[in-house]
Structure 1
Amino acid sequence: MSEPESEQSLRGLARFLVGPAEIAERLGVEANTINVWKVRHESFPLPVRRLKTGDVWDVREIRVWAEHTGREFRS
């Protein structure tokens, strides 16, 4: 049996990683809107990593940005 994943473990931290589709779902917009926002809004959080398949963000930073810009964020 595996040990519980702490927030300090790589797998524990991975639960905070999201792509444009997951962000869009939480903000109630289309996934392409996220790609537009990252270009148009200087305050939009920078991705934590750029992969060949696309950008990845920390959902906690997205939540803070959403709150500061008056957008509803669904957990």
Structure 2
Amino acid sequence: MHLLLKRELRFPDFYGMNWAAFWDAITGLVRIPDHVRFLGWEHLAAGVPSGAVMLRRALGDYQATYRPKFVAEYA
């Protein structure tokens, strides 16, 4: 999951591939788009349920704390 996030959100090469590093990346290293759409969410959530929960939680916290107009869509 982290490899995909790194590639699609254009995280730096030194991205740490964990949730703390994800938080650091989205809150200070890169500016993620205003609208992010995750296709195949049900498949991802079934395959990596804890990762899906962590991703949704992190992006929800990001929206609440830093960018109220940010939209994450899970399709």
Query: Normalising TM by the smaller chain, what interval?
Result: under 0.3
Q: TM-score, with normalisation over the residues of structure 2?
A: 0.25
Q: Could you state the TM-score of these two structures normalised by the residue count of structure 1?
A: 0.25
Structure 1 or 2: more helix by fraction:
2
Q: With CA pairs under 8 Å and 6+ residues apart, which has the higher RCO, 1 or 2?
A: 2
